[in-house]
Amino acid sequence: MSDDARRALRAGDLVAGRFRVVGDLGEGSSGIVHRAAQLSLGRDVALKVLRPRFAMDPVARARFTREARVASTLRHPNAVEIHDFGDDGAIAFIAMELLTGATLRAILEARSRAGADAPLELTRVLAIGYQMADVLAAAHAVALVHRDLKPENVFLEPTVSGERERVVVVDFGLAFIADHDELGRHTVEGVVAGTPAYLSPEQARGERVGPPSDVYALGCVLFELLAGAPPFEGDTARLLSRHLFVPPPRLRERRSGPPVPVALDALLQRMLRKRAEERPTAAEVRATLGSVDPSAAEPHARGRESLPLVGREARMLSPTPRGVPDESPSSRAPDDDAEVAMVGPVDVEVQLALAANGMICFAVSDDHPVSGATAVLALGATAATVRALTAHGAPVVTDAERSDMERVAALLRAGADEVVLRPLEIEDVVSKVSRALGKARRRARRG
């Protein structure tokens, strides 16, 4: 076979002297998949060939080989079986189990074209999620991270016995090979790899990823199966910002079909937490999914985490509990008409987070006076500054050290609508500004 890495494989080509290409099956970001016959054993296989632009890169090629070797050690009924891998001149390949059925993405698109109200039935989603969590738990036990979990990489195979379908997760670990230049973000840790709608916050920052990133992606996939769309949508830049800064929406607010059990909604909230260490493990997700009773859906049930805080001081001073529906910025439409004046130092990450929630931010200047804002964020402001800012009529949000209750009291007396406690968490700043805007709108309606 020619060593020209740019030559496409065609039907009849022989790879490594033992795989005869029969036809094409599909392609992904890192490789092209062919149907091939394994001559030595007389069976058909899926032959994945590394894309030429990666095959010419020694680093990418080494990663491909390493990941194939690790993936081949994963023996699990929900993982595609790796039969062989190796090189043939300029071609790097993996020979895998040939699957029947369809990808989860193809199934979702077919149901959408058919006009189905909800993408998949709850019992089916629980079964799919359980099997996916099961194989992730096994992979994480051998330090194998998928890095690009999405409906395109999940295969549903009908079983001969007519029992529940077999869920097969493909492409373990191979997403790291793809460079994803379209994301336009590189760091010293490496490249942002993955698909934007399913990226964990640490992936969006271009950091090294571990098992919690797979749990986050699984949460995004399950959310889509139940709500008809991933938790966050938009162009790549907006998606990255939302994964980083916007609290996840509640499933019960997005789902148009029958209600889901509270325990399932709470599990997704945990899986979609911004901090990797706060997410459950894949084994914990598997256990929870296995214990969820599909008939236990309560349309108006409120778990302990959904109960509102009591008292004006608690509402103004306590960090907003993650996942509280009526306080989360993402629980309603973005404040597209909100313009937030930033007085004092401008924190770029705070600015990006507010923008991701639909709030336009500007630094106060002669061209952009405070009087033109619908809210004011004045971090580090004195009580006198807060009092002067409130004269413009817009709600004012400022901050104070958690232990400095004297400053907190002075800021509240000066008219601050919300006080964020330090050390600052960006989610809390966004939530406080959004809540101040909501209170201002309610006051305007009343009066």
Catalytic residues: 148
User: Which one, of 103, 78, 83, lies nearest residue 28 by Cα?
Assistant: 103
> What's the full length of the chain, in residues?
447
207 CB-contact burial (10 Å; exposed 0-12 / middle 13-18 / buried 19+): middle
- Across 340-363, b (16+ Cβ under 10 Å) vs e yields bbbbeeebeebbbbbbbbbbebbe
Q: Which two tokens stand for residue 39?
A: 């001559």
User: Which one, of 340, 339, 306, lies nearest residue 321 by Cα?
Assistant: 306
What backbone torsions phi and psi does residue 388 show, to the nearest 5 degrees? -70, -35
- 364 close to 437: Cβ distance less than 8 angstroms: no
- SS3 per-residue string spanning 157-225: ECCCCCCCCEEEECCCCHHHHCCCHHHCCEECCEECCCCHHHCCHHHHCCCCCCHHHHHHHHHHHHHHH
Residue 29 CA, distance from chain mean position:
18
Distance CA 236, CA 151 (A): 18
User: Which one, of 331, 328, 197, 305, lies nearest residue 251 by Cα?
Assistant: 331
Element (H, E) at 32: strand 31-38
- 223 close to 230: Cβ distance less than 8 angstroms: yes
What backbone torsions phi and psi does residue 273 show, to the nearest 5 degrees? -65, 150
- 46 close to 99: Cβ distance less than 8 angstroms: yes
